[in-house]
Every structure is written in structure tokens, then in C-alpha cells.
A and B are shown apart, each in its own frame.
Chain A
Amino acid sequence: MLLLKKLHKWVGLFIGIQVLLWLLSGLVISLLDPVKVNGRQWASPVVTEPQYIGPTALLEPAELPTEYLKDALSIDLTIQHGIPVYLIRHSDGEHLVSGIDGSLVTFESFDAQKLASQDFNGDGEVISVERGMAPDMETRNHSGAYWRVNFSDKANTAIYISISTGKILERRNSYWRVRDFFWMLHIMDYAGHKDFNNPLIITVALVAIWLGLSGFLLLFGSFNRHDFFFLRFPGKRDDVVITLFEPGVTGPRKVVLRRGSNLFLSLATHGVSLPSICGGGGECGKCRVRFEVTDLPDASGIDLLLVPKRLREKGYRLACQQIVENNMTLHLSEGTLTPPD
């Protein structure tokens, strides 16, 4: 138990802050509404009217310029923005080629602004359109050049439109940015915000599991059945009288405690605060009280560790390690009953 406690404390000291950050970032992420985070909240519903390819004369795929066909992985013919187009996918990106004349279709800032405005139904106007040549943090799941269309809404929406396909790549906003920041903290990938298999988090997680395991075992040790007295029938009380003496205080003070409760904690709830730093954890050794020889309990492992032999022989034990069993008399150190202030 003692060893477990040591382990728990030292692991806590080293990675406690990260455990706190995991819980905090997890909480923030769960609190954010995913519909806002991914921008669907302010996206126009998709119109699903079928767009038939129709009978217009078209080029066959084999008639398209060879530079687009080389190493193509897939080709899709559809109607987009009113014209028949071939979407050609390569390992490094996608292109749209007109089915009518084989020319490359690209999207200009004006088109991007139009497409983004059609999509956005929130409360705001386009304030600027910027060109991005390579993926940044907000477009990290894509490749290729894009337009970033910024809106004036409260959530600072930015809609990203691919230059080569006109597709909406992402809808980003303040909710997403907050989530992404906390996601970074959660997965400890401070550069990419993406890789949760990174060596840092693996190391910390491997250490943290010991915090959890030791804590879990300690939890069992820290409870006894008397902690659950409130589950018993009301009115059925089983009390013990403790008589307290303190040098310089005239007359004993008597307190009535529940049998089976922790001596240190019970005294504290009755207004008798024994000296302590650790708050009853069996760590500081300050809560020692002197028992009468007739009631002297056996010294526990923690008593042996924290109470010097000389004092143990005089009848000193740590109150936080004692369960109240019988009526007894205790001698407290000066200033306990009457704090000198």
C-alpha cells in the first residue's frame, strides 16, 4: 500500500498536469456541438435533383489530352455547374476537364466567391477571398491549391474551395479552431494536430496508466464499510465517547464519534483539527496523538515510518491511521483545542 501510494504520488507529480489537460481538453471537445464545429450548421442543404448527362456530343476519355490521362486512377463523367466534365483523379490530386473540348476547368476567385456564398447560409457576407497554394493547418487533409473565402459572421467562417475541382474542401470557423486547439493538447501533437501515434503521447500514456492502476488499487484500500454508514437504517447509531486532554487546557473535552469512523477525520468534523499537512493521508506524520496505555493500539506500518520509536513507546500514534473502536482518552499537543491566534 505504501509503495503504491509512493508510485501514485510520483507519477502524479510528473504527469499530473497532462492528465488534467486530457480531462480538460476532452471536456471542451465534448461540449462543442459537432454540427457547429464542422460548419454544417451554416451550410445550405444540398439540392439533390438528378443531373442527367444528356445527349450533348462529348469527347471520349481516350480523346482527352494525354497529359491528363497519364497515371490516372479513376475518371468520372458528370454534369457540374451545368457542363459535362471529366473528374480525373491522380495520386497527387484531382483535375476537371471539359467533356466538350478537353480544356482544363479551373475555378477563379470570382467562382469561388459564388460557390461559397451559395453554400453559406449563416449571418454574414463575403469579406475577402485569398489564394492558398499548399495545405495549411485548416486544409491539412487535402492537397493542391485552393481559395479561402472569408465571411463576416460571428463565427469567422472560412470556406475553402478547390481551385482544380470547385469542391468545397472544408468549412472552418471559430468552433472548429477552438476544438482543434484542444485536440492538439489532447493528442499532444503540437506541430501537426493530427498524429496521435507520436512518441511523446505514447511515453506519457505508458506512464499515466500506472497512475490509473495504482490509484484504482488505492481506492479499494481507502474505503472501509463504515464509510457507507449513511446506507444503514436511519436512527441506528453506534457512538463512542472520546475524552480529549491538552496541556494548559483545564478539564477534558468530550466528543461523541461514530464507531468505525476514521479518528482524524471524525475529530475534524467535530471541530478538533489535529495538526496536519497532508490532510489525513498518512504522509506528513503531524497528526500524532498520545493514547493511554490501556487503549494503545498496535503501531501500523505508517506509524513505524513516521513516528519516531521514542514517541511510539510513549504511546503516540497517527490519528489518521486509526479507526474509532471504543471509548478512549487521548492527549493532544498544545494549541490543538485552542488554536493560538
Chain B
Amino acid sequence: MPFLKPPVVARTLHKWLGLLVGLQVLIWLATGLYMVVVDIDFIHGDTLVKNTQQPLLVPGKSAHDIASLRAQYQDATKISLRPVMGKTFYTVTTVDHRYLVDPQTGAVKLPLDENTAREIARYHYAGEAQISNATLISSNPPMEIQTRRLPLWRVDFDDRFSTSFYIDPYNGSLATRRHQYWRIFDFLWALHIMDYEDRSDAHNRLLIFAQFTGLTFAVTGLWLLFYSFSGRRRKKGNVVI
């Protein structure tokens, strides 16, 4: 229809493109709004943890010093000093094992049991709520820890954020923490980048197609705006036909 005038073209396009991507544009705006309004440090759970920057107390020479550990674990590729609940431990990494060693008494039994996991979670939890549940996750991890090394103890707190702490049973560290607002963020992020499975790939065809359509939609909208506000000025003195 070559004879349609530009504003008619713009209006028709805006309407039909709106039908095509209007819902997604609204989803972009709404999910974007959540992500900018809710503080990202809160999302990361920084306000729910404590005792995460405890200085080490470096152990002196003992029956279980590094020299003896190297003799005991000859295939060690890494020996570290890490605090667990305020006390310093060695973690020994070999090609296919990890060990946690108490500098005073020698190796610790691994994986850490449920009570220890609960204790560690408690030690890092900045809130007041009680622990409601603890589970050892060794396979089929939930979406929220998909990239993490298993097994992990999941310790749930009975607070209004549905907080979960993940404790590594092989070194006693707080591997990560999740809560309801993080889960919402993650879900909205999937909607935002239209990657509904991995929730991480913003280089996907569906998204690119939607963005391209959305962009055309926005351009036609701005184009219409131009007509609608230029019409405003000319309207006066134009009453009689």
C-alpha cells in the first residue's frame, strides 16, 4: 500500500508490533524495575551473613604442620589455611580428594556431619531465626546452585526470606547463600534475557529477534509522538472546514 501516509504507516506498525512484542516489552520493563530497585548486595545475601572475614590464627610448628602434611599427602597439589568457625584448619587438596586437618589433633572425619553443618550455618547467619531443615545434596542440585561443586549441605532457616545456606562438607566453608529475593531475581533475569533454561545466555536468537522487533516498535512509537505533538500546535484556528 504505497499510498499510505507516514503517520498512518507508523500507527499501523506500532499497533501490530505491539501485538507481537508488547507483552515482552512490558516484561522487560517490569523485570528491569525489580532489578534496579532491589539492592544487589541484598540480593547477594550480604546482609544475611556474618563472620565471613575472620583473620587467621597461623598455627606454629606442631605434629601436624605443613611438613608433616606433605609427607602424609604426597600427591597434594594445594595446602591451605582457612578459618572454620573462628578456628584455623588446613585443607589439603590432592588430585581427587580433599581433606580437612585440625592442626592440633590431625585429620577431621569427612564429609562433615549434619550437626557440624548446622553449627557452621548458625555461625555465619546474621539473623535470629531457627534452622528448619538440613539436607545433604550430592546429585540433582537445584537450579540455584547449578554451577557449584557437590556435595553441599543445604541448611534452611525459618525466616521471612526463606534463607538457605550451602555448606561445603569437605572444607567447612559457606559456599553460597540463597534467599527468596535472590530466587525471584534469578527467575526475572531469565524472563529478561528470554533464556528460560540456563538463565544465563543473553546471546540467544529468541531474545535478538524480540529486541529487534521491540526496537522497531519503539521507533514507530517515537515517530508517532512526533506527529501527535506537532498536531497540537496547529490545531488552533483550524475549526471550520
Mutual binders A and B:
yes
**Distance, CA A285 to CA B235, complexed state (A):** 8
Q: Is the CB of B215 within 8 A of A27?
A: yes
In the complex, residue of chain B having the shortest beta-carbon distance to the beta carbon of A187 = B36
In the complex, residue of chain A having the shortest beta-carbon distance to the beta carbon of B37 = A202
Q: Is B70 an interface residue (CB 8 A)?
A: yes
Q: Is the CB of A62 within 8 A of B59?
A: yes
8 Å CB contact of A30 from B82, B207, B222: B207
| Contact partners of B74 in chain A: CB under 8 A | 52, 55
Q: Is A4 an interface residue (CB 8 A)?
A: no
In the complex, residue of chain A having the shortest beta-carbon distance to the beta carbon of B240 = A311
State which of B22-30, B117-125, B147-155 sits at the interface with chain A: B22-30
Return the CB mask of A250-289 against B: 1 if under 8 Å, else 0: 0000000000000001001101010011111101111010
8 Å CB contact of A288 from B3, B61, B95, B241: B241
8 Å CB contact of B218 from A23, A69, A288: A23
A319 to B: closest C-beta gap in Å: 12
Q: Is A118 an interface residue (CB 8 A)?
A: no
**Distance, CA A165 to CA B26, complexed state (A):** 46
Interface size class of B (residues with CB under 8 A): 35 or more
In the complex, residue of chain B having the shortest beta-carbon distance to the beta carbon of A203 = B36
B58 to A: closest C-beta gap in Å: 5
8 Å CB contact of A333 from B4, B37, B204, B241: B241
Task: Tell whether A283 pairs with B76 under 8 Å between CB atoms, given A23-B214, A60-B61.
Answer: no
State which of B6-14, B135-143, B161-169 sits at the interface with chain A: B6-14
Task: Tell whether A279 pairs with B11 under 8 Å between CB atoms, given A20-B218, A219-B22.
Answer: yes
Q: Is the CB of A219 within 8 A of B231?
A: no
Q: Is the CB of B81 within 8 A of A74?
A: yes
A11 to B: closest C-beta gap in Å: 10
Q: Is A76 an interface residue (CB 8 A)?
A: yes
Q: Is B54 an interface residue (CB 8 A)?
A: yes
Give the most central of B5, B9, B54, B207: most A CB within 10 Å: B5
Q: Is the CB of B55 within 8 A of A77?
A: no
8 Å CB contact of B82 from A74, A205, A208, A308: A74
Q: Is the CB of A201 within 8 A of B36?
A: yes
Return the CB mask of B24-66 against A: 1 if under 8 Å, else 0: 0110111011011111100000000000011110111100011
Q: Is A229 an interface residue (CB 8 A)?
A: no
8 Å CB contact of A33 from B5, B78, B203, B230: B203
Q: Is the CB of B29 within 8 A of A208?
A: yes
Q: Is the CB of B75 within 8 A of A50?
A: yes
Task: Tell whether A73 pairs with B211 under 8 Å between CB atoms, given A12-B222, A279-B227.
Answer: no
B66 to A: closest C-beta gap in Å: 5
The interface of chain B, by Cβ under 8 A from chain A, is 1, 3-12, 15, 18-19, 22-23, 25-26, 28-30, 32-33, 35-40, 53-56, 58-61, 65-67, 70-71, 74-83, 95, 193, 201-204, 207-208, 211-212, 214-215, 218-219, 221-222, 224-225, 227-231, 234-235, 238-239, 241
17 pairs from A and B in contact (CB 8 Å cutoff): A9-B229, A12-B225, A30-B202, A32-B203, A50-B77, A50-B95, A62-B61, A74-B56, A74-B81, A76-B81, A78-B77, A205-B32, A268-B1, A273-B8, A276-B7, A279-B11, A308-B239
